[in-house]
Amino acid sequence: MEKANIESSKKGYVMTGGSGIQSYAKNSSFQRDVADATKLLIQNAVSEHLNPRNSPGLETFYVADLGCSVGPNTFIAVQNIIDAVKLRYQSSNDKIPEFQVLFNDHTENDFNTLFKSLPLNREYYASGVPGSFYSNLFPRASLHFVHTSYSLQWLSCVPKEIITKNKGRIFYTGAREEVTKAYARQHAADFANFLQARAREVVPGGLMVIVIPSRPNGVPHSRVSFNILHGIFSSTFVDLAKKGMIDEEKVDAFNIPIYHTSPQELEATIKQNGCFSIEKIESLPNITTKDVPHVVSLRIRAITEGLIKEHFGEEILDGLFEHFTNKLLESLKDVESGLAVNLFLLLKRKHEEDTSTF
């Protein structure tokens, strides 16, 4: 009997929990805008690629949101999916199944805040599934729809070969080519593991939506707006080290495990996996925000505070982000001049016979 490769206890990187002023729940409006922007795309995906009559008598439709964090954005995404599936069943006069939603994130995630925030009028059963989505999380062929948004840019770990080769930086922006290539290899390996795990868990004909901040094909890493922002953040640590406020050796040993991949890189890994067909890959419309330095600084703090606290200690946080905010006052236009794309990918689990109906 085959055993699932389950690593549910593996520690990962989580967003700031709770509901305070510095929490992810209060500083993820951009991600919420992304969720809103995918609503019509999800509706069309379900309408065009899900056929209830190919799964007659289905009692429960299983939805998984991977990298759910603490809400409220996960609830928006889940409701978009359920609304689309219900509409599809209604349009073909089929009985609407019940819905089971599986909320996944790392074991360190603040699931208490997540479940306290569950919508009271929800139309689904909810459960939490802790663990890394780079390994198996669910039984074989148990999921009908998988969704993950703004999560797959996170690596499972910092590439080991760059730990001593990226001094004076906490990211690959402006680093040597070998550092950037190491990040790219790590992301490709992680994404391959992600696809392998989902191939086992998604039913034949099941759908998977991936939303990921990306580097446009052919655009240098140095011109990507996300990377420019992280470059400014990196220089903040260097500034504080020069002032003696933090230890320089600790800065040299600290790297943020994020990589902004390109559509070409993603497509290559999907094709290599061979278990999913790419039904759609497109850029989301530009999301216009009236960001100010303080808002951007809070957003970055919400997603990196845990990492920084673990490596440097809590006492540096306020001074670090105050300095980062001041640097953004001078440099936010550089970020806005950069290039980036929010990618929407729709994948469909192939049948063993390589058919494509569900």
Q: What is the pLDDT of residues 181-211, one digit of tens each?
A: 999 999 999 999 999 999 999 999 999 999 9
Q: Which two tokens stand for residue 147?
A: 């969704």
The owner of tokens 């729809």 is: 145
Q: Find the mean pLDDT for residues 323-338.
A: 92
* Dist. CA 155–CA 314, nearest whole Å: 23
* Dist. CA 205–CA 202, nearest whole Å: 8
pLDDT at 227 over 90: yes
Alpha helices in 103-244 (DSSP H): 111-116, 177-201, 225-242
> 11: pLDDT confidence band, cut at 50, 70 and 90?
low
* Dist. CA 137–CA 341, nearest whole Å: 29
The owner of tokens 């219900």 is: 86
Q: Are 100 and 65 in contact (CB under 8 A)?
A: no
**Cα radius of gyration (the chain):** 21
pLDDT digits (tens, 9 = 90+) for 272-282: 999 999 999 99
- Provide the β-strand partners of residue 188: none
* Dist. CA 241–CA 238, nearest whole Å: 5
Q: Are 199 and 298 in contact (CB under 8 A)?
A: no
Q: What is the pLDDT of residue 51?
A: 87
pLDDT at 43 over 80: yes
The HSE-up count of residue 318 (CA atoms within 13 Å, CB side) is: 1
Q: Are 357 and 269 in contact (CB under 8 A)?
A: no
Q: What is the pLDDT of residue 19?
A: 65
Q: What is the pLDDT of residue 132?
A: 97
Backbone angles phi, psi at 157, to 5 degrees: -165, 160
CATH H superfamily, domain 29-349: Vaccinia Virus protein VP39 (3.40.50.150)
Q: What is the pLDDT of residue 158?
A: 95
**Length of the chain measured in residues:** 358
Q: Are 358 and 206 in contact (CB under 8 A)?
A: yes
For residue 138, which amino acid is it? Answer: F
> 111: pLDDT confidence band, cut at 50, 70 and 90?
very high
Q: Are 283 and 217 in contact (CB under 8 A)?
A: no
CB atoms within 10 A of CB 213: 22
Q: What residue ranges in the chain does DSSP mark as E strands?
A: 60-66, 98-105, 125-130, 143-149, 202-214, 276-283, 341-349
Cis peptide before 257 (omega within 30 of 0): no
Q: What is the pLDDT of residue 12?
A: 64
pLDDT at 354 over 90: no
> 23: pLDDT confidence band, cut at 50, 70 and 90?
low
Q: What is the pLDDT of residue 332?
A: 85
> 163: pLDDT confidence band, cut at 50, 70 and 90?
confident
pLDDT at 171 over 60: yes
Beta pairing class for 60-66 and 98-105: parallel
pLDDT digits (tens, 9 = 90+) for 47-102: 999 989 878 889 999 999 999 998 789 999 999 999 999 999 999 999 999 999 99
> 31: pLDDT confidence band, cut at 50, 70 and 90?
confident
Is the pLDDT higher at 154 or at 57?
A: 154
